[in-house]
Amino acid sequence: MDFDWSPEEKAFREEAAAYIQEHLTEGVVNEGCDATRYVDTPERRGFMRALADCGYLGVSWPEEYGGKGLPITYDYLLAEELAAAGAPQSGKGVGIIGQTLIRHGSDELKAEFLPKILRGEIEWAIGYSEPDAGSDLASLKLRATRDGEGWRLNGQKRFTTSAHFADWYWLAARTDPEAPKHRGITLFIVPMNDPGITVQEMRCIDGERTNEVFLDDVWVSDRYAVGEVNKGFNYVSEALDYERHTLFPYSMLPRMFEMFLEFVKTTQRDGVPLRDDPAVRRTVAELARDMEVARMNSIRVVDNMVHGLPATVPAAMNKVWWSELYQRLVNAVLEIVGPGAWLRRGSAHAPMEGFFQQLYRTMVIPAIGAGANEIQRTIIARRGLGLPNPI
């Protein structure tokens, strides 16, 4: 594995960083950390269209679909620069949905959606999780019943974070209740403005909005079924490898770590510089070591993808390490900073502007998103280490 970037990749990264900074306006930069994934305001949609106008979206897509045919490394570099700037990521459309449509979608679906994705014109919600089907996605119950030249959808989805602003719903439904649970699922594309769809707000402890979505007699044409009927679970599993990597860009961690380092360097406690405290120095050193492990894990996933190697296990390893380092970092900061760290944003004298108390309330999300860490450890054990299935 090459640990350095080529001159072309370095040039792309520098150009992308400059372009991002040029187009960052008020309302685009996220005040927190996790929600950089979402293009949920007019300002952020405008920013995404600016990226599209300069050809930064879908650079790894084949040229026949409007991309530049570059290695997936370039998507990774763009994601890292967006995360470093606190800007929203390029979205589910370019990654999960676009990549799946390119591999498995019909010519009609490709013609309808791929150009709009590359132009930054549409946003997507992902409908996987349900009240009884989260990490065990194959247990989903939302029913798709054959109705003429299409399907009638009835059921509920949960934790669809983008449902209140998305244009289209990318959802998994059970089309064959008699088949083994992994083999009776189909992917569908549904407009979010369908009258049979009801979106109900759910607020997380950090203030972030997610949603429950109810589908009542929503009819969807066969044309909007993705790939083969009853093979949707295979497509979802394939896309989750990509999601587990792109949802957690490495550069988000240094952004947090550098803020903490600046606090340590410039703060005194009882007249003694905090940076001279042996316990603080040890914690900083341990976190710096773990940050380097996170960077190597991230690069390893990209390297596998570039060379056409399976990325399932490296992506799972990256996701577990990233999310748990996120938690270790936040907990360490709050312990070292002390009670003042719990002051919220906007509070007078809040250290680091209350950034880390917000991250503390957010930090459960990375351990669950794109598949809970318990599921990732099972993937690592079974596929990586060859251990038997305990069930």
- As a three-state string, the secondary structure of 278-329 is HHHHHHHHHHHHHHHHHHHHHHHHHHHHHCCCCCHHHHHHHHHHHHHHHHHH
> What is the Cα–Cα distance from 87 to 45, expressed in whole angstroms?
11
* pLDDT at position 293 over 80: yes
Mean per-residue pLDDT of the chain:
89
Amino acid type, 30: N
| 51-76 core/surface letters (b: 16 or more CB in 10 A; e: else) | bbeeebbbbbbeeebbbeebebbbbb
> What is the Cα–Cα distance from 295 to 181, expressed in whole angstroms?
36
Above pLDDT 70, what percent of the chain? 94
Radius of gyration of the chain (CA): 22
Residue ranges, comma separated, of all CATH 1.20.140.10 domains in the chain are 248-384
Fold classification of 7-90 (topology level)? Butyryl-Coa Dehydrogenase, subunit A; domain 1 (1.10.540)
- DSSP for 1-27, please give it: ---S--HHHHHHHHHHHHHHHHH--TT
Residue 32: the pLDDT is 52
> What is the Cα–Cα distance from 138 to 141, expressed in whole angstroms?
9
pTM, two decimals, is: 0.86
DSSP secondary structure code for residue 225 in this structure: E
Binned at pLDDT 50, 70 and 90, residue 287 comes out as very high
Report which of 344, 325, 341, 340 is spatially closest to residue 283, judged by C-alpha positions.
325
* pLDDT at position 182 over 60: yes
Residue ranges, comma separated, of all CATH 1.10.540.10 domains in the chain are 7-90
Phi, psi of 82 (to 5 degrees): -65, -45
| 262-287 core/surface letters (b: 16 or more CB in 10 A; e: else) | ebbeeeeeeeeebeeeeebeebbeeb
DSSP secondary structure code for residue 134 in this structure: S
Reduced to 3 states, what is the DSSP secondary structure of residue 143? strand
Amino acid type, 162: S
* pLDDT at position 2 over 80: no
Binned at pLDDT 50, 70 and 90, residue 391 comes out as low
Residue 367: the pLDDT is 84
Q: Which residues are CB-neighbours of 78 under 8 A, at least 6 positions away?
A: 16, 56, 59, 90
Q: How does strand 268-269 pair with strand 272-273?
A: antiparallel
Count the neighbouring beta carbons within 10 Å of the beta carbon of residue 147: 12
Residue ranges, comma separated, of all CATH 2.40.110.10 domains in the chain are 125-230
- Helix ranges restricted to H, the chain: 7-23, 42-53, 73-85, 98-104, 107-118, 232-246, 252-266, 278-306, 312-337, 355-362, 364-368, 373-379
> What is the Cα–Cα distance from 96 to 236, expressed in whole angstroms?
9
* pLDDT at position 105 over 90: yes
Of the candidate CATH numbers 1.10.1240.10, 1.20.1250.20, 1.20.140.10, 3.50.50.60, the domain formed by 248-384 belongs to 1.20.140.10
What is the arithmetic mean of pLDDT over 72-93? Answer: 87
Report which of 214, 193, 212 is spatially closest to residue 204, judged by C-alpha positions.
212
Binned at pLDDT 50, 70 and 90, residue 155 comes out as very high
What is the arithmetic mean of pLDDT over 6-29? Answer: 91
Binned at pLDDT 50, 70 and 90, residue 62 comes out as very high
State the virtual CA torsion across 22, 27, 32, 36 in degrees, nearest 10: -70
* pLDDT at position 340 over 90: no
Query: The domain 125-230 belongs to what CATH superfamily?
Result: Butyryl-CoA Dehydrogenase, subunit A, domain 2 (2.40.110.10)
